[in-house]
Structure 1
Amino acid sequence: MPNDDDRSDINVDDYENIWLRLVHMVIIAVLMSMASTLLGIMTVAQFLIMLVNQRQPNDQLAEMGTTMGVWMAKAARYQTAASEVKPWPWTELD
């Protein structure tokens, strides 16, 4: 019967890292939910601005939407294990 010393195929650091990844995934899921709500608010605001401003969008809102889209894509890639790179706030917000 094998004892615990014979289980060299399981790395303790990998086991602990998977639970830390779960913590990161939960935090990112909450942030993604907040980002989705904020995106909805920004969408309505941009529409109203365009309605009043002769179809001209607000450049800052448009840029914020682009940045948010990039962040959400990075977050989705980390959530689905397509990437090991965590999004902001762990890395730079590009």
Structure 2
Amino acid sequence: MAERARQHPHLDDDKAEPPVEESYRQLIPRILWIVVITMLISVAQSLLFAVAVLQVVIMIANKGRPNEELGDFGAMVGAWVAKAARYQSAASEQKPWPWTPMGS
């Protein structure tokens, strides 16, 4: 009979899941952060569009050569959007900048 009880080791764990109320209370701040991050992603998309337009103008003026600094900035904004999307979709618990350093 003791073997039968051990078939489900997760039931014997000392680590019990938090009560539903506690989990719910932790969910409310996350939802609020998701809303804030959604607005910031909108700003980031506008920035990326402006960078793209500016980069095209620069490339026309420089005979096809892009501005490296603008390219790096665009890549940095893109990486931020990816990190924000991972937090929003609960693939990560780490919030994007400004809550964490930009490169982490």
Spell out the pairing of 1:7-26 with structure 2 (5 A cutoff). 9-12=19-22, 14-26=23-35
Q: Take 2:25 and 2:86, find their aligned partners in 1: how far apart are those partners?
A: 21
RMSD (CA atoms): 1.3
Specify which of 37, 45, 53 is matched with residue 36 of structure 1: 45
The CA deviation at 1:11 is 4.7
Distance 2:50 2:75 in 1: 15
Match of 2:74? 65
Q: Which runs of 5+ in 1 are unaligned?
A: 1-7
CA distance in 1, matches of 2:90, 2:50: 29
TM-score by length of 1: 0.85
Structure having the higher Rg:
2
1:60 is displaced (CA, Å) by 1.0
> TM-score normalized by structure 2?
0.78
Give the alignment partner of residue 54 of structure 1, picking from 38, 60, 63. 63
